[in-house]
Amino acid sequence: MRIGGMLGPAQLLRLLHINRVLVRHGLDDIVLATHLFRPIAFLRHLLPWNWMPRRELHLTRGERIRLTLEDLGPIFVKFGQMLSTRRDLLPDDIALELTKLQDRVPPFAGDQARAIVEKAYRQPLEAMFAEFNPQPLASASIAQVHAARLLNGREVVVKVLRPGIEKIIRRDIELLYIIARLAQRYWREGRRLRPLEVVSEYEKTIFDELDLVREAANASQLRHNFKDSPILYIPEVFWPETRRNVLVMERIHGIPVGNIAELRRRGVDMKKLSERGVVVFFTQVFRDSFFHADMHPGNIFVNAENPDDPRYIAVDFGIIGTLSPTDQHYLAENFLAFFHRDYRRVAELHIESGWVPPETRVDEFESAIRTVSEPIFDRPLKDISFGGFLLTLFQTARRFNMEVQPQLVLLQKTLLNIEGLGRQLDPELDLWKTAKPFLENWMKNRVGPWSVLNRIKYYFPRWADQTPDLPNLVYGILKQAHNGDLTVRLQKQELDQLRRDLHWANRRNFHAAVGAALIVSAAVILGFDARDGVEFWRAPLLSWVLGGIGVGLLLSAWPGDK
């Protein structure tokens, strides 16, 4: 990926288009207010487009930024969506406005979709599908979805990547890198916000979405995790028909979760539905450590066949989050410690987990957490936002040099989505009441006797497989030791001591060599003087000096002397 150097004609045209869009939405004043352009900010009054009143200037800065990104196209829209989750980087007003970005773009022609599918299969469409509807069911920035029917009669959806989308993404990502480099160099907040890292994170995410085989694998894993689950259904992937740019999945029928009116008309138990959303989230995070990280309303449907026992249906698995066992443990303890107002434990957990530097002072960090957390508890527990707590916690930790944890950012984004969705379904949802027993049981199972037995059960086959090899391993070690071939890995303290010993050994050898050379030189001088008949005690002073220095150096090289 090129992020510097000369721009090509296409990039220059794209950059000019970006500038025109910025001006159209009144963002030129924001650009001119930066450190780089502040000395020439007065020139904005000379620009012709500022002589007439502009409607955009009456909008908030967040609205202007959102409209700009929507005009710049789908790649910038997705970038804005990703930024909306980074509340540690953006002011709240801008972040909230960016959550309104809609990933809706006009569909491409059905004939193009058909050609892409036939090229992927290397055979006519009729050889794979009994039916294929050229009119898409949905269209987004990366791909669009068509209804189809397999030869065996199964109803499916076919997700097809947009033609030429990879080239478009690479062009716009390259421009984002250029803008990020300028921001990091000239913007006062650039170094703290690390724009290059933000663009790099976005680049990885969006290129992952281009691989539909990866998405299919994500869907299969989630389907396995929630097999026979009464609360979440994941559509089946049809692997023989799936390619890198074509994904075939079971077609599902449900009510979009955002259609509250229809859910109420069907008599769906909204309280149970909202609570099940919380259970789905915590099950994915803490039981499976594998969670759907793009759970906005457009990707969630509800099976309302039994209104008293509603079931979620999830689609679109391009973005998945995972947590290590360590992250799981520290996150659960953080939630529980916060619930009990044990702010010192929250501070200690951040240090123990490595999220903040080990030299962080616990008392100072504890005080900062208390300052931002105590006002939260003035409200009823049901009104306290879990996602808001995480956001507040991470923002506070950033002051103590907390490194960005991508997996926690995805988690925070997903939690905010689930929480907002749950309270939209049931405004009285008490997320803490639902989550606290789940977390307490998870912690109990993790550290209790059953946890030990489960771990033994998990590792026992591996131990049983390795046990027969133990006698040979022990014999090999003993044989190496007997032959003097055993290699020992030294600890840092031992290595430091070894370095010091080698240093002194080299120094002693040097002193001994120089001392011996000086003594030999003195002896040679004395020898020439004796040949010329000079008495020993009348030898030149130089020979005595050289000899004295040589003896001193030999003495300093004595092993006991350091």
Concerning whether 327 is annotated as a catalytic residue, the answer is no
Collapsing DSSP to helix, strand or coil, 243 comes out as: strand
- If you count DSSP H runs as helices and E runs as strands, how many of each does the chain have, helices first? 22, 11
d(CA 281, CA 312): 12
Alpha helix positions (H), 40-109: 61-72, 74-84, 92-98
Structure-token pair, residue 550? 């040589």
Query: Any idea what the Cα angle at residue 82 is, between residues 199 and 143, rounded to 5°?
Result: 95
Handedness of CA 56, 59, 63, 65 (dihedral sign): positive
CA-wise closest residue to 382 among 332, 433, 348: 433
Distances (CA, A) of 246 to 122, 149, 154, 170, 214: 12, 15, 17, 20, 11
* Cα–chain center distance at 489: 34
- How many residues belong to the chain? 562
Q: Which of 28, 294, 316, 327 is catalytic?
A: 294
Query: Any idea what the Cα angle at residue 356 is, between residues 354 and 361, rounded to 5°?
Result: 115
Query: Any idea what the Cα angle at residue 481 is, between residues 480 and 482, rounded to 5°?
Result: 90
Q: Strand pairing of 232-233 and 311-314?
A: parallel
Torsions phi, psi for 86 (to 5 deg): -95, 65
Return the axis-axis angle of helices 541-556 and 492-531, rounded to nearest 10°: 160
Longest pairwise C-alpha distance within the chain: 128
d(CA 170, CA 167): 5
Contact assessment for residue 238 and residue 250, using Cβ atoms and an 8 Å cutoff: yes
Q: What is the DSSP string of 339-406?
A: HTT-HHHHHHHHHHTTSS-TT--HHHHHHHHHHHHGGGGGS-GGG--HHHHHHHHHHHHHTTTPPP-H
Active-site positions read 294
